[in-house]
Amino acid sequence: GAVVHWFKCDLRTQDNKGLHMASERAREKGVPLICMHIISPQDFEAHFTSPVRVDFVLRTLEVLKEDLGKLDIPLYVETIEKRKVIPGRILELLKEWNASHLYANAEYEVDELRREAKMVHSCLENGIAMEVVADTCVVSPGELSSGTGKQYSVYSPWFRAWTAHVHSNTYLLDLFDAPNKNPPNARANLTKLFDTAIPAAPANKKLTDEEKKRFRSMWPPGEHEAQARLSKFATQAISSYRDKRNLPAACATSSLSVHFASGTLSARTAIRTARSHNTSKSLNAGQEGIQTWISEVAWRDFYKHVLAHWPYVCMNKPFKPEYTNIEWEYNSAHFAAWCEGRTGYPIVDAAMRQLNHCGYMHNRCRMIVASFLAKHLLIDWRMGERYFMEHLVDGDFASNNGGWGFSASTGVDPQPYFRIFNPLLQSEKFDKEGVYIRKWVKELEGVEGSAIHEPYARGMGKKAREQGYPERIVEHKESRERCLLRYKQGLGRE
């Protein structure tokens, strides 16, 4: 017999609830624990998973395989082309391994939830117990509801409830130990499984050699890296997080999103660690930094709760149905300029180039470029949402969809539609000296002073033109008016 853990977006051995439970079950039954991971090119296609994220996952699997190997636990990895075939193939493997139990941590996207619900039944019909475990959030969806018994759709009251819930259920932050070592004969009996290699990226998600080199030095894989990054952040930067987190040039955020997204770090561990650095009893700047960071990590929980409660957000629908009828522009030249960072708005262009170069973008800039696409260009926000998924190393459906809904004012707890970010003011406020812009927009490197925020209007047009920096593709004032009108029309208010 055997007990099996199916790794998905939880690629770590420490503080992994499903894996821990599987390991305990195996120990109780005196059978080995087998771990598996399925790679599905069709799933990647359906979720627009970026090649850089696929590469990160594959490299993380190498780390995971090695760590598990030290515990005599095999990690079996198989590529399955057609996603429909996955449940059947897993059942076949479970039978082949004579497994009595299958454990997996829950994912809240509709396709995954439905698939797992069906699998629980088909396993049961075959005498196998499948347990789907709530692990990814600190407070799981379903745990919090407002006074009237409804799911919160506004973050602030939700966060108050979240905080109170964590305070009164401190076990929610307890650590789940890494799995036990397998029995001594496991290695000999399961040699074939130990011998399977981690596959290369599927054809639809390959990186070029140049990209491999670039991304691999930026995003070292695995849970040890995540732990190291977390402790460095918690000891060196978290205390100034509140004051600097909105400044893209400051590198003041944790850069842990890739690890949360792939599950190389658990949210529990992140929050436990942050709290443990809070040594002060009085409210000081350092403590406020910690509080603010915890409230940001909680946004991740919030958007997963939203996804679990309103699954139609997974189906290309805006959270607010009344926003369905906005008439979007499908101007492909504008969309291409946005994607490539050639809009003529330096802060927007810097941010898009950071995304294209790193597979990552600073949070403030994500809000600026998302708002710019949806409101200044009036391009369907779902095109931007998709472009983000196709390029982000930390692409996560719930957070990305939530962020786009916020920025386009179509989502849960959104910006009111009539609040339209002015890219120039954002730029002057959050990248005052233009350090971030000069880093990413090479054509503007030589532009000095405040002209960096709008070179053509501030006497640096000649230089910008010589260097090949484009003029604005739309004007702020006109775009703003067009946007207000179109949103009003869409809402039937005009």
Residues that bind ligand FAD (CB under 6 A): 245, 253-257, 260-261, 296-297, 299-300, 303, 363, 366-367, 370, 388, 392, 394-396, 399-400, 402-404, 407
The token pair that represents 236 in the structure block:
């060196």
Asked if 158 is an active-site residue, the reply is: no
Catalytic residue status for 404: yes
Q: Whole-number minimum distance, CB 335 to ligand FAD, in Å?
A: 16
Q: Which is nearer to ligand FAD, 75 or 420 (CB)?
A: 420
Nearer to ligand FAD, 182 or 399 (CB): 399
CB of 235 to ligand FAD, least distance (A): 14
If phi over 0 gives left and psi between -120 and 50 gives alpha, with beta otherwise, what is residue 255?
left
Minimum distance from CB of 67 to ligand FAD (Å)?
23
CB nearer to ligand FAD: give 396 or 443: 396
Cβ neighbors of 334 (< 8 A, separation 6 or more) are 377, 379, 473, 474
Give the residue with the Cβ less far from ligand FAD, 185 or 231: 231
Q: 423, 376 in Cβ contact below 8 A?
A: yes
Tell me the C-alpha distance between 362 and 366, whole Å.
6
Ranked by CB distance to ligand FAD, the top (closest) residue is 403
In whole angstroms, how far apart are CA 370 and each of 345, 348, 431? 13, 9, 17
DSSP E strands: which ranges in 222-335? Answer: none
The residue annotated as part of the active site, out of 6, 162, 293, 299, is: 299
Looking at beta carbons only, is 119 or 294 nearer to ligand FAD?
A: 294
Distance, in Å, from the CA atom of 76 to the CA atom of 68, rounded to the nearest integer, reads 11
Instruction: Please pick, among 24, 143, 296, 428, the residue that the annotation labels catalytic.
Output: 296
C-beta of 292: minimal distance to ligand FAD in Å? Answer: 9
Q: What is the DSSP string of 98-132?
A: TEEEEEEE---SHHHHHHHHHHHHHHHHTT-EEEE
Of 190 and 294, CB closest to ligand FAD:
294
What Rg, from alpha-carbon coordinates, does the chain have? 24
Q: What does the block give as tokens for 238?
A: 């978290």
Catalytic residue among 180, 356, 363, 422: 363
Minimum distance of ligand FAD from residue 312's CB (angstroms) = 19
Three-state DSSP class for residue 455: coil
> Does the active-site annotation cover 310?
no
The distance of closest approach from Cβ of residue 278 to ligand FAD in the complex, given in angstroms and rounded to an integer, is 16
- The β-bridge partners of 362 are none
Which residues are tagged catalytic?
296, 299, 328, 363, 381, 404
